[in-house]
A and B are shown apart, each in its own frame.
Chain A
């Protein structure tokens, strides 16, 4: 009880313990870690009335390209600077919705278009850009892939400008695995089903899949729906047509999906693998799995982390093959037709002007297009093709030409369902897809559950 003898040790203990706790807590925090951007004064980022603001995502190479765009704009326009705030993906998704709902959103709203954008439009939170794009900025509009505008259009009006990159979903494969079993990459759904037992016999999983992330499973259904029933099956659902999910082609697609799962088409334990940790990509480049259906955005990471997988020319890729007897056009693709920038309707007139100027001059300018191509991505503009000849790495050049052709030649480029649908439908969809892949619900039950939320 004598304070003089114990206080120092207690004090040191408390300080040490506290510091340890703080340090450990900081390690794991997945909370909203907003990094102030190059010109941001305070971290939080301003809402209405604090100048032109722009929130976007962290993560290279995208982050660096976005920062360079803002820097170029701010250097050219010292009187109307744009302030940026950067967020991690999941933190951004939660924060932007809450901020816009509270009237504290940024002037420039970065997003994925589709159902999320529709919710903003219905709440009167974003500007109608149709006239501006059709008159003042017609040349900008015409330079962008037309397919990218579908996800930016709500009730016939354009509320967002497509920007950044087009990333279709691609069937990746490991050429070494096919050599091991002496087979050719699949040319049809029937080929895929035939390959499954052959790979399993050799102890190689036919397909890698990060099933816990749920949207990874969704990519399979997107292609099967399209290849079996054609693009209008999903279009009907998107437009809210009653019982759209129980279309006979939809049920057949769901059934084929479960057949592949039952035949052990996916790596054992796929429903506990996440895509965020890139474990699904690692399964492909370490030779544990032969094929993987994934977004074009995975190329960069496989090249960086996969040793000589990409640089040694072992990575193969193709558009999803047709299903025998299916109605879909084999050139169709799904994925992200672009990323989108909207302007807050709550911003001041001056801020809106600044934002428009930024979109028009800096988001798809020559320097940006070149930067995207250099980073292994295809920007959403037709002029991207001209930049491809400057790529010297033969692997990158082949890959970029493939992505460009897939995107530019697609008869229909469907937006990923979880972004195309309203948040309510998307969440129900992801839940039910997880159960479908676990074989805990039948195709019929899946259709019934999904029909219940159509149009919501």
Chain B
């Protein structure tokens, strides 16, 4: 079948890689030079602002006047503030629930789309559209659709759709998780689609000879073979969800009350709405630390080796 074509490609890739690896010291020096532009960009736009935020977290500044040193007062006030545990809780709630919704959905969708039939390429494009929309546009659209008086529910006279979607705490969180999933499932499906296409078809052929059905093949071959893809996609979901801001800001502005006030929104509100740059910088630092910790934990979960599983296949 046509499906035998891809497995031919990796060997050539691997030989190229091993050739590059075996070359002399002059070659690796050239590689180091090539890293420089990226490194420079990272220092200018990554490291320097990070240090700036760390410094600001020890100062008192309203964004307008002079900056005064404040010692540890910002850290003390933020860490003892009752808002912080709440924001962390909401952040984790949205992170975990949206992970739990997105992962199985994208895994299934990705596996389905990895088939070679022509219409699947068309479907893949169709599924991909939500990712192309800006979060602000998505938020505005959903807000209009969910409006309890002029939205989809009252328009179509559907009672169950006529809820106070963004006005009740649990419903609002549910809506956020739904929209986040709707927006990012296409992206993760794409990753899984790529992952599934890397699995040698010989494994499936062997399994069918042994009499394994589609479901059995999925759980015994596809899912275990996608271990590292799952880890990669989960890391992106988890770390990415720490920075959810635009969607929630436009959709609920952290409301109702502070039910959807995630860390990033808390930071923005303190910094740019309350003019308290110091406490906002503390939260920004906490977000960086939390992101780092989560990424490291997920990496540990996946095992430290990044070698391909195909080696053993």
Contacts and interface: CB of A to CB of B under 8 A. Distances in A.
A271 interface: yes
Given A97-B272, A271-B164, A273-B149, A212 B138 contact: no
A212 B255 contact: yes
B148 interface: yes
Given A273-B149, A424-B276, A119 B134 contact: no
Contact of B258 (A29, A122, A211, A431): A431
B253 A212 contact: yes
Given A30-B136, A438-B257, A98 B63 contact: yes
Interface in A266-321: 267-274, 277, 279, 282-283, 288
Given A29-B136, A122-B65, A272-B166, A282 B150 contact: yes
Contact of B149 (A17, A269, A271, A435): A269
B147 interface: yes
B209 interface: no
Contacts of A428: 274
B146 interface: yes
Interface residues of B, number: 41
Contact of A423 (B135, B144, B256, B275): B275
B167 A272 contact: yes
Contacts of A55: none
Interface in A397-445: 422-424, 426-428, 431, 434-435, 438, 440
Nearest to A282: B150
A124 interface: yes
Instruction: Point out which of A100, A277, A438 has the most chain B C-beta atoms below 10 A from its C-beta.
Output: A438
A270 B167 contact: yes
A283 B149 contact: yes
A269 B167 contact: yes
Contact of B65 (A124, A268, A279): A124
A112 B253 CA distance: 22
B73 to A, nearest CB: 13
Contacts of A21: 132
B275 A424 contact: yes
B149 A434 contact: no
Main secondary structure, interface of B, reads loop
A24 interface: yes
A101 interface: yes
A269 B148 contact: yes
A125 B64 contact: yes
Contact of A279 (B135, B147, B253): B147
A94 interface: yes
B274 A434 contact: no
B63 A212 contact: no
A81 B272 CA distance: 32
Interface in B180-238: none
Contact of A101 (B64, B138, B276): B64
Contact of A28 (B66, B133, B272): B133
Given A97-B272, A119-B62, A29 B134 contact: yes
A31 B144 CA distance: 19
Contact of B148 (A31, A98, A272, A434): A272
A120 B63 CA distance: 10
Nearest to A21: B132
B165 interface: yes
A30 B250 contact: yes
Nearest to B256: A271
A442 to B, nearest CB: 14
A24 B256 contact: no
A349 interface: no
A12 interface: no
A25 interface: yes
Contacts of B167: 211-212, 269-273
A27 interface: yes
A391 interface: no
B165 A272 contact: yes
B140 interface: yes
B250 to A, nearest CB: 7
B64 A272 contact: no
B256 A438 contact: yes
Interface string A10-21: 000000010011
B299 interface: no
Interface in B16-68: 62-66
B277 to A, nearest CB: 9
Contact of B64 (A17, A29, A100, A267): A100
Nearest to A428: B274
B297 interface: no
A354 B63 CA distance: 28
Given A27-B137, A98-B63, A271-B164, A119 B275 contact: yes
Contacts of B63: 97-98, 101
Contacts of B165: 272
Contacts of A94: 272
B132 A24 contact: yes
B44 to A, nearest CB: 18
B148 A424 contact: no
Nearest to A26: B134
B91 interface: no
A293 to B, nearest CB: 18
B133 A24 contact: yes
Given A28-B134, A212-B256, A423-B275, 6 more contacts: A25-B134, A214-B255, A270-B167, A272-B167, A277-B144, A427-B269
11 contacts: A24-B137, A28-B136, A28-B137, A30-B136, A123-B64, A125-B64, A267-B149, A272-B172, A272-B256, A423-B275, A434-B256
